[in-house]
Structure 1
C-alpha cells in the first residue's frame, strides 16, 4: 500500500517559473518541499518527485522539447497556466495527456499544495508498478486483433521496422513486444532519442564503440526523433545501416518523419531504409469497444499495487469516457485512471475523479429500464473480456450463454 511519505524526501523540480510563481513557491517550500528551479533546456539530468511546469508561451513554442521531457520523466506533473480563462485546445490536450492537475495563475497556495501531494502519490504508484507492461496489446476490436497478428509476423524479421501512430497510442509497447518475441529477446533493449544528447556528445553516444548502434548488432535498438539529426548525422546513419544490414532497428514516428521528408529536413533514402517494413498503432477513439476493458485493466493493476479494493466505474464515468475524444490515447487513459485511483473517495470511480465532465452531450431525461439493461449487459461483457481475453468460449460459459449469443452481444455493443 501507499504509505505516508517523509516530508524531507519531497523533491519538486520547477521548470520555467515566473515572478508570480515565486510567491507560491515560498508557501510550497515552507510546507517542506525541496525546490530546484531550471529552464526547459537545463533540466536534462535533473529529477524530482513531482515536476511543476509553467506552461507559458515561451515553453509552448518548444513542443518537441517539452514532450521529450514529459516522455522520459517518471514523475507526475502539475501545470501552472498564465492567467485565468479556458486553455487553448492544444494546451488542454497536453494537460489531459500528461499532467495530474493544472492551476491558472494566480492561484491559492493551499490548492497547489493539495495537487502536489496527490501528484506525488501518483508518482509513487507508478514507481511501485515499475516498468511492467501488458504481455500483449489488450482488446478484442478488429484493429487490436489484427495488430497482434502483425506483431507475431514481424517479430522474426531482421530488417528495420518503422512504428507509426499517434502520440500515446502504444508505439513503445509495440517496440518492446517486437523485441520480446524476436530471437534477440534475451539480449539488450535500448531506446535512444536522437534529440536528447548535446550535439558534441551525439557522435560518441550513437556511433561510438559501445554506442547505441552497437546494441543493435546483437540486441534491439529503438530510435526516436531521427529527424533531429543534422545532415552529417543522417548521412553517417545511412552509411552504417547499409554496411550492417542485419541490425534489429526499430524507429518510432508520430508522423514527424514523413513531414520532415516533405520539408527536406530528412533524407528520403534514409527514411525509405528505416521504413522498409511498417506497423501502425490505432487511435483509441477508433477502438471504442476496447475502452472500458483497458480502463478496467489499469484500475485493477494499479489498484492492486496500492492494496485498494477494486472500484468499478460509475455510469457517468463510463459515459464521460465514451464521449471523450482521447487525443492522448492509451497513455492519457492510463494517467487518468491512475489519477482517479488516488482521488476516488467512494465505492465507485466518478467522472470528476478522471478529470472528465460527466453527461456532456447526454440527454437529461431519466434512463429507461432498457437503458439500464443495456448498461448491465455491456458491463458484464467487459468484465468477462477482461478476465478471459483470448478465450471466448470460456467467457461465454461464465455468463451462462452460448458462444453464438455471446458473439451477437459483442456485435450489438460494438465490442468487436
Structure 2
C-alpha cells in the first residue's frame, strides 16, 4: 500500500481478515517490495516519476480516488498504461477483494518468464514494421550511435534489446544511462564493449552535453542507443540542445510505428499477446469477440503496443467466458453505425481478415508458407493482403 496511508487505514483490518498481508511503502521504497498487488490512493495528479516506477515494478496496481479526481487524471489512460484498475473511493470491500485477486493474477502473469520457444521479435505487418525489421537486420551490424524515436509504448526498448542481441556485444549486458542525472562517465565508457542506452537525453545539462560531444569525437564508433519520444527534437528546436551533438547521436535513425495509424496490426498483436500469456498460465486460448475487436479499432491507443499488451493481460484474468469482451479489456463498446448493416458479406470479410492475421502471426517472415497454409497462391495471398490493407 503506497503512501499516503491515512486515507486507507480503514482497509487494513478487512484486508488482513480476508487473508492478505498488507505492507506500507513509499515511492522511494516501492521497487524494493516483491508483493502481488499495489494499492495507491490518489489525492493529486500522478507525476511522471511515479508513473515510471509503477511501470518498472510490474505490480498490478489498483488506484483508489474519488470520482472527481478520477475524472481529472483520466482513469481510462491510467488503466490502459499504468495500473490494473481504478476504483472510486470510498470503495466497496467485496469489489476491492475481487479486483485484488485479479491484480494479483496479472502481476504473476507479467513476472512469468517466456519458456524460450519464442524469441523476442518486432511484430507487425504494416509497411512501417516490415521496413523496421529490414533496418534492424542491417543496422545491428554497424558501429556508431543509433537514434531510436517513437511514441511512448511503441517498442523503443524492445528495438534496443533486439539491436543489442544481434550486435557483436551481445555477450555483454546492455548498460543504461538516465540523462536526467549527472552523466556517468564510467557507464558511458562501457559503449566500447557493449551497448549503452541513453534515456532522457533532452535533460542533459550544457556541461554534460559538452562532455558527451567530446567523448563521441574521441570515440566515433561508440555503441550508443538514444531513445527519444520527441523531447530531444523539441529541445533542439528550442535551442536547448546542441545541434552538433544531436547530429552525432542521430547519424543513423530508426522510428517505431504507432498503433493508431496501423489498425491492421491490432488483431495480430492482440492475438499474439493472448496466446503467449494465456499459454503461460495454462488457459485455453480465448478469442476476441467481434465487440472487442470493434472496440479496439475505435480506441486511439495513446500508449500504443504497451497499452495493448497491458489490456490483454488484464482481459485474460478478468474474462469469464470463452471470449474476451470489450469490458474485459477496459474499453467502451464501439457505437454501432446504422449505415453499416451486418450482412453475410461482412462476416466473410471478417473471417478472411482473421485468417490472414492468424497466418501472418505464425509466418511473419515467410509469405510463401503463409499462402500455402491458407491454400492459396502467393499472388492471391498478396491480393488479399492489399484488399484488407494489411500491407
Normalised TM-score (structure 2): 0.91
Q: Does 1:53 align with 2:28?
A: no
- d(CA) in 1 for partners of 2:314 and 2:55? 17
CA contact (8 A) 2:70 2:88 kept: no
- d(CA) in 1 for partners of 2:144 and 2:74? 36
Q: Does 1:37 align with 2:24?
A: yes
CA contact (8 A) 1:300 1:310 kept: yes
Q: In the alignment, which of 65, 77, 83 is matched to residue 99 of structure 1?
A: 83
Q: Does 1:221 align with 2:206?
A: no
Q: Where does residue 113 of structure 2 map in the other structure? A: 129
Q: In the alignment, which of 291, 295, 302 is matched to residue 277 of structure 2?
A: 302
Normalised TM-score (structure 1): 0.86
Report the CA distance between 1:143 and its aligned residue.
Answer: 0.9
- d(CA) in 1 for partners of 2:344 and 2:273? 30
- d(CA) in 2 for partners of 1:131 and 1:171? 23
Q: In the alignment, which of 155, 171, 176 is matched to residue 170 of structure 1?
A: 155
- d(CA) in 1 for partners of 2:43 and 2:69? 14
Change (3 A) 1:333 1:409: same
- d(CA) in 2 for partners of 1:260 and 1:82? 37
Report the count of equivalent residues: 390
Q: In the alignment, which of 3, 11, 21 is matched to residue 8 of structure 2?
A: 21
Q: What's the secondary structure of 1:40's corresponding residue?
A: coil
Q: Does 1:207 align with 2:194?
A: no
**Range with greater deviation from structure 2 (262-271 or 74-83):** 262-271
Q: What's the secondary structure of 1:24's corresponding residue?
A: helix
CA contact (8 A) 1:189 1:215 kept: no
Report the CA distance between 1:238 and its aligned residue.
Answer: 2.9
Change (3 A) 1:301 1:273: same
Change (3 A) 1:107 1:47: same
**Range with greater deviation from structure 2 (292-301 or 397-406):** 397-406
Q: Where does residue 343 of structure 2 map in the other structure? A: 368
CA contact (8 A) 2:177 2:199 kept: yes
- Map Cα deviations across residues 334-360 of structure 1 (whole Å, 9 max, x no partner): 111111111112111111111112233
Q: What's the secondary structure of 2:285's corresponding residue?
A: coil
Report the CA distance between 1:288 and its aligned residue.
Answer: 1.4
Q: Where does residue 69 of structure 1 map in the other structure? A: 53
Q: In the alignment, which of 179, 201, 205 is matched to residue 230 of structure 1?
A: 205
CA contact (8 A) 1:289 1:414 kept: yes
Q: In the alignment, which of 101, 104, 108 is matched to residue 92 of structure 2?
A: 108
**Range with greater deviation from structure 2 (296-305 or 357-366):** 357-366
Change (3 A) 1:268 1:73: farther
- d(CA) in 2 for partners of 1:342 and 1:157? 43
- d(CA) in 2 for partners of 1:404 and 1:178? 33
Runs of 5+ consecutive residues of structure 1 not aligned to the other structure = 1-13
Change (3 A) 1:152 1:98: same
Alignment of structure 1 residues 256-275 onto 2, 5 Å: 256-275=231-250
CA contact (8 A) 2:43 2:69 kept: no
CA contact (8 A) 2:154 2:304 kept: yes
**Range with greater deviation from structure 2 (166-175 or 334-343):** 334-343
Change (3 A) 1:44 1:380: closer
- d(CA) in 1 for partners of 2:15 and 2:114? 28
Q: What's the secondary structure of 2:313's corresponding residue?
A: helix
Runs of 5+ consecutive residues of structure 2 not aligned to the other structure = none
Q: In the alignment, which of 374, 377, 381 is matched to residue 402 of structure 1?
A: 377
Change (3 A) 1:284 1:110: same
CA contact (8 A) 2:286 2:322 kept: yes
Q: What's the secondary structure of 1:284's corresponding residue?
A: coil
Q: In the alignment, which of 146, 167, 170 is matched to residue 131 of structure 2?
A: 146
- d(CA) in 2 for partners of 1:406 and 1:28? 56
Change (3 A) 1:361 1:194: farther
Q: Does 1:248 align with 2:223?
A: yes
Q: What's the secondary structure of 1:52's corresponding residue?
A: strand
